[in-house]
A and B are shown apart, each in its own frame.
Chain A
Amino acid sequence: MKTLDIISQPESPLTKKSTKLDSFVGNTPLYPIQNLDIKEDVKVFAKLEWQQFGGSVKTRAAYRIIQDAIERGELTEGKHLLDASSGNTGIAYAHIGAALGIPVTLCLPENASEERKQILRSLDVNLKLTSRAGGTDEAQEVAKEIYEQNPSQYYYADQYSNPSNWKAHYDTTGPEILDQTNYDVTHFIAGLGTTGTFTGTGRFLKTYKQEIELIALQPDIAMHGLEGWKHLETAHTPAIFDDSVADVMQTVSTEEAHETMKLAAQKEGLLISPSSAANLAGALRLARQLEEGTIVTLFPDDSSKYGEVTNQLFK
């Protein structure tokens, strides 16, 4: 009888629609870094994460968060998806929300770049701007308050605590890296923000081969310019962060990332964001220490949403 009950339940329109973007999420190219003085037996690759629906690595997490919430019945027709975001996750929610007919409300620090705010407005997001000084930590607190005042109107996605975030990378980014390197990856290196990318990808790679070394990166100081990254000593630590995943923890300065942005543009033809450049800086530093190996990192997004930084660097 149980089987009959399941069969007779009609699938909601949202459930039907929720898989329609499957083939446009993830599956990003693995780009070989070739012109930055890397030894012959050391290979450095970066996944070009902006080459997917929504324009950044965050589409993976946002899509999985939405799909899982629909499946659990927590995100239903007419409910607003609510979260705090520094930009890219919000933009990913907005693209997916528009495509699936899900209204999106976002808490965003008011000093988010104009490009980001314009994109979100174009995608019809209900924006709640929070104070400049408070950063995403305050935006998170405001999002929580909005949810608690009216829980029936919102699905609070909470990317910082939502396990769907890291699971997206466990199920997609990790397997893609193995496949694209012909199972040769020896090191995975990436920055920490929500920590979903590093935690999910790292856990997957370790299940394949314990010897793959995982290097986590964070900004060198609290007042950094690496949008999307968290300085864990001074910021709220995301609930999904698992400090046992990283074999090594290193830091990158904003100045080093900015120099690497210039190198990537001039030597590799890649216009990448500060956080992508910080990942590349960490990967190049590691490459210089190795005699052989296959290093993989990610470029979360390109430079198109960082006009202020590129204007300053490429005068």
Chain B
Amino acid sequence: MARIIIPTPLRKYTDQNRQFETQQDTLSAAIEQFIEKYPDVKQNLLDDNGNIRSYIKLYIGNEEVSPAENGSIELKEDTEVSIVPAIAGGC
């Protein structure tokens, strides 16, 4: 089963769960299922056109992948997907 690692900022919307397991076989289907399970995540991940927000990065393992191609990105049994926000800090 593939896993989405849930970043700290989203955990408030995922009952503090740190990961989401999915049997979907593409990245886009996995994200869709993730949003269906936790609807408050949607506004955080998707822009008004339903695309992944331009500044959010997606990684498969340690490799960054283009959100625009997520429909064609296949997930394997042990794939780990990371959703990475900007770093909060600072002023």
What is A's interface to B at a CB cutoff of 8 Å? Answer: 57-58, 85-89, 109, 111-112, 132-138, 190-198, 221-231, 233-235, 254-255, 258, 274-275, 298, 300, 309, 312
**CB <8 Å contact, A227 and B90:** yes
Known: A222-B10, A233-B12, A255-B47. A135 touches B88 (CB 8 A): yes
**In the complex, which residues 33-91 of chain B have their Cβ closer than 8 Å to any Cβ of chain A?**
43-45, 47, 53-57, 59, 82-91
Q: Choose from A89, A138, A312 the contact partner of B8 (Cβ within 8 Å).
A: A138
Contacts of A231 in B (CB 8 A): 9, 88
Contacts of A112 in B (CB 8 A): 87
CA distance A31 to B12 in the complex (A): 39
Of the candidates B11, B85, B89, the one whose C-beta lies within 8 Å of that of A87 is B89
Interchain CA distance A61-B53 in the complex, whole Å: 32
Given contacts A132-B84, A223-B56, A225-B55, contact A194 B44 (CB under 8 A): no
Q: Report whether B56 and A312 are in contact in the complex, using a CB–CB cutoff of 8 Å.
A: no
Query: Which 4 A/B pairs are nearest by Cβ-Cβ distance?
Result: A228-B90, A86-B89, A225-B55, A193-B90
Q: Which residues of A contact B59 (CB under 8 A)?
A: 132
| Contact of B9 (CB < 8 Å), options: A58, A196, A223 | A223
Interface centre among B10, B59, B83, B91 (most CB of A within 10 A): B91
User: How far is the CB of A240 from the nearest CB of chain B, in Å?
Assistant: 12
Asked if residues A132 and B82 are in contact (CB atoms below 8 Å), the reply is: yes
Q: How far is the CB of B2 from chain A (nearest CB, A)?
A: 16
Query: With the chains together, A226 CA to B45 CA distance in Å?
Result: 15
In the complex, which residues of chain A have a beta carbon less than 8 angstroms from the beta carbon of B10?
A: 222-223, 234
Let me know if B5 and A194 touch, CB within 8 A.
no
Q: CB distance B91 to A224 under 8 Å?
A: no
B-to-A contact residues, CB < 8 Å: 5-13, 18, 43-45, 47, 53-57, 59, 82-91
Kindly state the separation between the CA atoms of A193 and B88 in the bound complex, as whole angstroms: 7
**Contact of A225 (CB < 8 Å), options: B6, B8, B13, B86:** B86
CA distance A193 to B89 in the complex (A): 5
Q: How far is the CA of A57 from the CA of B9 in the complex (A)?
A: 25
* One of B55, B57, B83, B91 near A57 (C-beta < 8 A): B91
Query: How far, in whole Å, are A236 and B91 apart by their CA atoms in the complex?
Result: 15
* Complex: A313 Cα to B18 Cα, angstroms: 32
Which among B5, B57, B86 is the interface contact of A224 at CB below 8 angstroms?
B86
- Apart from A111-B87, A133-B5, A225-B86, what are 4 other A-B pairs with CB-CB below 8 Å? A87-B87, A221-B43, A222-B85, A227-B88
B7, B45, B53: the one contacting A133 at CB < 8 Å is B7
Q: State whether A230 and B8 are in contact (beta carbons under 8 Å apart), knowing that A132-B84, A222-B13, A254-B53 are contacts in the complex.
A: no
A233 to B89, CA, bound (A): 14
Can you spell out 10 A-B residue pairs with CB atoms less than 8 angstroms apart? A58-B91, A85-B89, A87-B90, A134-B7, A135-B8, A196-B91, A224-B85, A230-B90, A254-B86, A300-B91
In the complex, what distance in Å separates the CA atom of A192 from the CA atom of B91?
A: 6
User: What is the chain B residue whose CB lies nearest that of A88?
Assistant: B90
- Given known contacts A137-B8, A222-B12, A223-B10, A235 and B45 CB-to-CB distance under 8 angstroms: no
